[in-house]
Amino acid sequence: MSHVFCALHDQALKLSRQYLACEKALLEVLVKIEAKKVYLEQGYASLTEYSQKALGLSRDVSWNLVTIVHKSKAVPELKQAVQMGVIPLSKARQIAPHLTKENSQKFIALAQAMPREKLQEALAKECPKIPSVEERARVINATQAELSLCLPKEVMEEIRRAQDRVSESQKKWVGLAETLEQVVEFYLQHKDLKEKARRHEVRKSKAPVSVEQSRRTVRESDAAARNSEFNFRHINKPRTKIQTNGRIPIPAGIKHEVIIKNAHQCTYQDPRTQLRCDKERFLHIHHKISVAMGGTNALENLTLLCSAHHRLEHYQSSG
Residues of the shown chain interacting with Zn ion in the complex, contacts defined by CB under 5 A: 266, 268, 277, 279, 286, 306, 309
Q: Which residue, 191 or 279, is less far from Zn ion as judged by CB?
A: 279
Q: Distance between CA 199 and CA 256 in Å, rounded?
A: 10
Single-letter amino acid code for the residue at 207: A
Q: How far apart are CA 66 and CA 55, in angstroms?
A: 13
Dist CA 109 CA 92 (whole Å):
11
Q: Whole-angstrom Cα distance, residue 241 to residue 228? A: 23
Residue 116 or 233 with smaller CB distance to Zn ion: 233
| Contact in structure between 149 and 131 (CB atoms under 8 Å) | yes
CB of 25 to Zn ion, least distance (A): 30
Shortest distance, position 308 Cβ to Zn ion, whole Å: 6
- State the minimum distance, in angstroms, from the CB of residue 302 to Zn ion: 9
Q: How far is the CB of 234 from Zn ion (least distance, A)?
A: 5
Phi and psi at 147, nearest 5°, equal -125, 130
| Pick 20 or 254: Cβ nearer Zn ion | 254
At 221 the three-state DSSP class reads helix
Phi, psi of 240 (to 5 degrees): -130, 170
Q: How many whole angstroms separate alpha carbon 92 and alpha carbon 101?
A: 14
Q: How far is the CB of 228 from Zn ion (least distance, A)?
A: 18
Q: Distance between CA atoms of 225 and 229, rounded to whole angstroms? A: 9
Indicate the residue among 93 and 286 with the shorter CB distance to Zn ion.
Answer: 286
For Zn ion, the closer CB: 151 or 292? 292
